[in-house]
Amino acid sequence: MLLGPITGTITLGGGGNTVSTSTLTVDNPMVFLGANNAADVLDLGFVGTYTSSGTKYSGLVRDASDSGVYKLFNGISSLPSNTVNFTGASYSTLQVGTLKAVDTTASSSKTTGALIVSGGAGIAGAVYATSFTANTGATITAFTTDQTFVGAANTAVPTAWAVKTYVDNNSGTVAWTIKTANYTAVAGDNLFCDTTSGSFTITLPASPSNNQTIKIADANGTFNTRPLIVNHNGNRLQGSVQPLYLDVINASVTLTYNTTYGWRII
Protein backbone atom coordinates (compact mmCIF):
# COMPACT_ATOMS: atom_id res chain seq x y z
CA MET A 1 0.00 0.00 0.00
CA LEU A 2 1.29 3.44 -0.96
CA LEU A 3 0.40 6.42 1.19
CA GLY A 4 0.92 10.04 0.27
CA PRO A 5 1.77 11.70 -3.04
CA ILE A 6 3.99 10.08 -5.64
CA THR A 7 6.58 12.22 -7.41
CA GLY A 8 9.00 11.44 -10.21
CA THR A 9 8.64 8.87 -12.99
CA ILE A 10 6.67 5.65 -12.53
CA THR A 11 7.02 2.77 -14.98
CA LEU A 12 4.33 0.05 -14.91
CA GLY A 13 5.08 -3.30 -16.50
CA GLY A 14 2.95 -6.26 -17.47
CA GLY A 15 -0.38 -6.31 -19.25
CA GLY A 16 -3.84 -5.10 -18.34
CA ASN A 17 -2.77 -2.07 -16.31
CA THR A 18 -5.72 0.15 -15.44
CA VAL A 19 -5.55 3.66 -14.03
CA SER A 20 -8.76 5.15 -12.69
CA THR A 21 -8.81 8.86 -12.05
CA SER A 22 -11.27 11.73 -11.99
CA THR A 23 -8.81 14.11 -13.70
CA LEU A 24 -6.16 13.22 -16.28
CA THR A 25 -3.46 15.67 -17.32
CA VAL A 26 -0.84 14.67 -19.87
CA ASP A 27 2.22 16.85 -20.47
CA ASN A 28 3.25 14.99 -23.65
CA PRO A 29 1.66 16.68 -26.72
CA MET A 30 1.08 13.33 -28.39
CA VAL A 31 -1.02 10.42 -27.10
CA PHE A 32 -0.08 7.15 -28.79
CA LEU A 33 -2.56 4.28 -29.06
CA GLY A 34 -2.34 0.71 -30.31
CA ALA A 35 1.36 0.07 -29.68
CA ASN A 36 0.90 -3.66 -30.39
CA ASN A 37 -1.31 -3.16 -33.46
CA ALA A 38 1.23 -4.75 -35.82
CA ALA A 39 -1.32 -6.18 -38.30
CA ASP A 40 -3.80 -3.26 -38.29
CA VAL A 41 -6.53 -5.30 -36.63
CA LEU A 42 -7.28 -2.99 -33.68
CA ASP A 43 -9.58 0.01 -33.78
CA LEU A 44 -7.95 3.24 -32.61
CA GLY A 45 -9.70 6.11 -30.90
CA PHE A 46 -11.52 7.50 -27.92
CA VAL A 47 -14.74 6.18 -26.40
CA GLY A 48 -16.95 7.69 -23.71
CA THR A 49 -20.10 6.56 -21.91
CA TYR A 50 -23.44 8.23 -21.32
CA THR A 51 -26.91 7.21 -20.18
CA SER A 52 -29.90 7.22 -22.53
CA SER A 53 -32.34 4.32 -22.10
CA GLY A 54 -29.47 2.46 -20.50
CA THR A 55 -25.72 2.77 -20.81
CA LYS A 56 -24.52 3.88 -24.23
CA TYR A 57 -21.10 4.52 -25.75
CA SER A 58 -19.96 7.28 -28.07
CA GLY A 59 -16.60 8.07 -29.60
CA LEU A 60 -14.30 8.85 -32.48
CA VAL A 61 -12.64 5.66 -33.74
CA ARG A 62 -10.61 4.53 -36.74
CA ASP A 63 -12.37 1.37 -37.96
CA ALA A 64 -9.66 -1.12 -38.99
CA SER A 65 -12.24 -3.39 -40.64
CA ASP A 66 -13.54 -0.57 -42.87
CA SER A 67 -10.37 0.62 -44.64
CA GLY A 68 -9.39 2.78 -41.70
CA VAL A 69 -12.41 5.11 -41.93
CA TYR A 70 -12.73 7.40 -38.92
CA LYS A 71 -16.23 7.21 -37.44
CA LEU A 72 -17.87 9.66 -35.06
CA PHE A 73 -20.56 7.51 -33.51
CA ASN A 74 -23.01 7.16 -30.63
CA GLY A 75 -25.73 4.83 -29.42
CA ILE A 76 -23.68 1.63 -29.05
CA SER A 77 -24.83 -0.54 -26.13
CA SER A 78 -21.87 -2.91 -25.79
CA LEU A 79 -18.61 -1.71 -24.25
CA PRO A 80 -15.91 -1.68 -26.96
CA SER A 81 -12.66 -3.51 -26.25
CA ASN A 82 -10.05 -3.95 -29.00
CA THR A 83 -12.63 -3.25 -31.71
CA VAL A 84 -15.96 -1.49 -31.89
CA ASN A 85 -19.11 -3.30 -32.95
CA PHE A 86 -20.74 -0.57 -35.04
CA THR A 87 -23.97 -2.56 -35.47
CA GLY A 88 -26.80 -0.33 -34.32
CA ALA A 89 -24.59 2.75 -34.10
CA SER A 90 -25.78 6.20 -35.06
CA TYR A 91 -23.36 8.69 -36.55
CA SER A 92 -23.04 12.03 -34.88
CA THR A 93 -23.19 15.52 -36.31
CA LEU A 94 -19.75 16.93 -37.08
CA GLN A 95 -19.13 20.66 -37.20
CA VAL A 96 -15.81 22.19 -38.23
CA GLY A 97 -16.02 25.97 -38.37
CA THR A 98 -19.05 26.71 -40.56
CA LEU A 99 -18.96 23.26 -42.19
CA LYS A 100 -21.61 21.00 -40.71
CA ALA A 101 -22.35 17.43 -41.76
CA VAL A 102 -25.50 15.79 -40.38
CA ASP A 103 -26.09 12.14 -41.21
CA THR A 104 -29.27 11.17 -43.17
CA THR A 105 -30.88 14.60 -42.87
CA ALA A 106 -32.92 15.44 -45.95
CA SER A 107 -32.38 18.89 -47.42
CA SER A 108 -35.31 21.28 -47.79
CA SER A 109 -33.48 24.62 -47.69
CA LYS A 110 -29.98 26.13 -47.73
CA THR A 111 -29.68 25.52 -43.97
CA THR A 112 -30.70 21.84 -43.87
CA GLY A 113 -29.21 18.62 -45.20
CA ALA A 114 -26.38 16.17 -44.66
CA LEU A 115 -23.81 18.81 -45.61
CA ILE A 116 -24.24 22.53 -45.02
CA VAL A 117 -21.68 24.97 -46.45
CA SER A 118 -22.45 28.50 -45.27
CA GLY A 119 -19.64 30.30 -47.07
CA GLY A 120 -20.01 28.74 -50.52
CA ALA A 121 -18.09 25.86 -52.07
CA GLY A 122 -15.33 25.55 -54.64
CA ILE A 123 -15.48 22.19 -56.41
CA ALA A 124 -12.78 21.21 -58.90
CA GLY A 125 -14.51 18.06 -60.15
CA ALA A 126 -17.97 17.22 -61.45
CA VAL A 127 -21.10 17.52 -59.31
CA TYR A 128 -23.73 14.78 -59.52
CA ALA A 129 -27.17 15.34 -58.03
CA THR A 130 -30.74 14.13 -58.45
CA SER A 131 -31.93 17.72 -58.48
CA PHE A 132 -30.83 21.28 -57.79
CA THR A 133 -32.91 23.73 -55.79
CA ALA A 134 -32.03 27.38 -55.31
CA ASN A 135 -32.99 29.25 -52.15
CA THR A 136 -36.11 30.34 -54.02
CA GLY A 137 -37.63 29.20 -57.28
CA ALA A 138 -38.03 25.93 -59.16
CA THR A 139 -36.23 22.64 -58.55
CA ILE A 140 -33.96 21.72 -61.48
CA THR A 141 -33.81 18.03 -62.37
CA ALA A 142 -32.15 18.07 -65.81
CA PHE A 143 -30.10 19.97 -68.37
CA THR A 144 -31.59 19.64 -71.84
CA THR A 145 -30.32 19.97 -75.42
CA ASP A 146 -33.85 20.20 -76.84
CA GLN A 147 -33.65 23.29 -79.04
CA THR A 148 -37.37 23.23 -79.92
CA PHE A 149 -38.60 24.05 -76.39
CA VAL A 150 -41.72 22.02 -77.19
CA GLY A 151 -41.40 20.08 -73.96
CA ALA A 152 -40.43 23.16 -71.95
CA ALA A 153 -40.70 22.63 -68.20
CA ASN A 154 -39.73 24.56 -65.10
CA THR A 155 -37.50 21.65 -64.03
CA ALA A 156 -35.13 21.69 -67.05
CA VAL A 157 -32.39 24.14 -68.04
CA PRO A 158 -31.46 24.36 -71.76
CA THR A 159 -27.81 24.34 -72.83
CA ALA A 160 -26.27 27.31 -74.62
CA TRP A 161 -26.40 25.36 -77.90
CA ALA A 162 -30.13 24.65 -77.44
CA VAL A 163 -30.89 28.32 -76.76
CA LYS A 164 -28.83 29.52 -79.74
CA THR A 165 -30.45 26.99 -82.08
CA TYR A 166 -33.92 27.94 -80.93
CA VAL A 167 -33.22 31.64 -81.42
CA ASP A 168 -31.66 31.02 -84.85
CA ASN A 169 -34.66 28.96 -85.94
CA ASN A 170 -37.25 31.41 -84.67
CA SER A 171 -35.78 34.82 -85.49
CA GLY A 172 -35.75 36.80 -88.70
CA THR A 173 -31.95 36.79 -88.99
CA VAL A 174 -31.06 33.14 -89.49
CA ALA A 175 -27.46 32.41 -90.50
CA TRP A 176 -26.92 30.33 -93.64
CA THR A 177 -23.78 28.27 -94.30
CA ILE A 178 -22.38 27.47 -97.74
CA LYS A 179 -21.52 23.81 -98.40
CA THR A 180 -19.68 22.46 -101.43
CA ALA A 181 -18.72 18.97 -100.20
CA ASN A 182 -20.00 16.12 -98.06
CA TYR A 183 -21.29 17.32 -94.69
CA THR A 184 -23.13 15.86 -91.67
CA ALA A 185 -25.83 18.30 -90.66
CA VAL A 186 -26.81 19.25 -87.14
CA ALA A 187 -30.21 20.38 -85.94
CA GLY A 188 -30.97 23.95 -86.89
CA ASP A 189 -28.60 24.04 -89.86
CA ASN A 190 -29.47 26.33 -92.77
CA LEU A 191 -27.42 25.17 -95.76
CA PHE A 192 -26.73 26.85 -99.10
CA CYS A 193 -25.51 23.86 -101.13
CA ASP A 194 -23.46 24.61 -104.25
CA THR A 195 -23.08 21.56 -106.52
CA THR A 196 -21.24 23.46 -109.30
CA SER A 197 -18.20 21.17 -108.90
CA GLY A 198 -20.27 18.01 -108.60
CA SER A 199 -22.91 16.25 -106.55
CA PHE A 200 -22.23 15.63 -102.87
CA THR A 201 -24.09 14.30 -99.83
CA ILE A 202 -25.70 16.01 -96.85
CA THR A 203 -26.07 13.43 -94.06
CA LEU A 204 -28.87 14.04 -91.55
CA PRO A 205 -28.27 13.67 -87.78
CA ALA A 206 -28.20 10.08 -86.53
CA SER A 207 -30.20 10.74 -83.34
CA PRO A 208 -32.51 13.68 -83.99
CA SER A 209 -35.05 15.01 -81.49
CA ASN A 210 -38.70 15.73 -82.13
CA ASN A 211 -39.34 18.92 -84.18
CA GLN A 212 -35.70 19.49 -85.13
CA THR A 213 -35.35 21.21 -88.49
CA ILE A 214 -32.74 21.51 -91.25
CA LYS A 215 -33.08 23.82 -94.24
CA ILE A 216 -31.40 23.18 -97.60
CA ALA A 217 -31.33 25.47 -100.64
CA ASP A 218 -29.79 25.30 -104.14
CA ALA A 219 -27.11 27.98 -103.86
CA ASN A 220 -26.20 28.29 -107.55
CA GLY A 221 -29.07 26.77 -109.55
CA THR A 222 -27.22 23.52 -110.29
CA PHE A 223 -29.37 20.86 -108.60
CA ASN A 224 -30.97 19.94 -111.97
CA THR A 225 -27.63 18.95 -113.51
CA ARG A 226 -25.76 17.86 -110.41
CA PRO A 227 -28.31 16.75 -107.79
CA LEU A 228 -27.75 17.07 -104.06
CA ILE A 229 -28.01 13.77 -102.18
CA VAL A 230 -29.61 13.74 -98.71
CA ASN A 231 -28.67 10.68 -96.62
CA HIS A 232 -31.34 9.63 -94.06
CA ASN A 233 -28.65 8.22 -91.67
CA GLY A 234 -30.85 5.42 -90.34
CA ASN A 235 -34.10 7.35 -89.95
CA ARG A 236 -37.05 7.44 -92.32
CA LEU A 237 -36.97 10.26 -94.86
CA GLN A 238 -40.26 11.03 -96.61
CA GLY A 239 -41.45 7.63 -95.41
CA SER A 240 -38.50 5.82 -96.99
CA VAL A 241 -35.09 4.54 -95.95
CA GLN A 242 -33.59 5.51 -99.32
CA PRO A 243 -31.51 8.65 -100.01
CA LEU A 244 -33.35 11.72 -101.22
CA TYR A 245 -32.14 13.33 -104.47
CA LEU A 246 -32.81 17.04 -104.84
CA ASP A 247 -32.67 17.52 -108.62
CA VAL A 248 -34.91 20.55 -109.22
CA ILE A 249 -33.20 23.79 -110.11
CA ASN A 250 -33.26 26.37 -107.32
CA ALA A 251 -34.99 23.90 -105.01
CA SER A 252 -35.35 24.90 -101.36
CA VAL A 253 -36.65 22.49 -98.69
CA THR A 254 -37.18 22.45 -94.94
CA LEU A 255 -36.78 19.03 -93.30
CA THR A 256 -38.54 18.58 -89.95
CA TYR A 257 -38.11 15.48 -87.78
CA ASN A 258 -41.01 13.76 -86.03
CA THR A 259 -40.47 10.80 -83.71
CA THR A 260 -43.40 8.95 -85.32
CA TYR A 261 -42.98 9.81 -89.01
CA GLY A 262 -39.26 10.54 -89.35
CA TRP A 263 -37.95 13.37 -91.55
CA ARG A 264 -40.60 15.12 -93.62
CA ILE A 265 -40.30 17.93 -96.17
CA ILE A 266 -42.36 20.92 -95.08
Residue range 249-266, pLDDT digits in tens = 999 999 999 999 999 998
48: Cα separation from own chain's centroid? 38
User: CB of 228 within 8 A of CB of 214?
Assistant: no
- List Cβ neighbours of 41 (8 Å cut-off, separation of 6 or more): 64, 82, 83
- List Cβ neighbours of 168 (8 Å cut-off, separation of 6 or more): 174, 175, 188, 190
Per residue in 179-237, pLDDT tens?
999 999 998 899 999 999 999 999 999 999 998 999 999 999 999 999 999 999 999 99
- List Cβ neighbours of 240 (8 Å cut-off, separation of 6 or more): 232
- Across the chain, where does the E strand assignment appear? 44-51, 55-63, 69-76, 90-91, 94-96, 99-101, 115-117, 132-133, 139-140, 142-144, 156-158, 177-179, 183-184, 190-193, 201-203, 213-218, 228-231, 244-246, 252-258, 262-265
Whole-model pTM: value is 0.45
Please state the domain extents for the chain: 44-92, 175-265
Nearest residue to 237 (alpha-carbon basis) of 212, 256, 264: 264
Which CATH class name applies to 175-265? mainly beta
Per residue in 29-61, pLDDT tens?
988 888 888 888 999 999 999 999 999 999 999
Choose the most confident range, by mean pLDDT, from 33-47, 85-99, 125-139, 215-229: 215-229
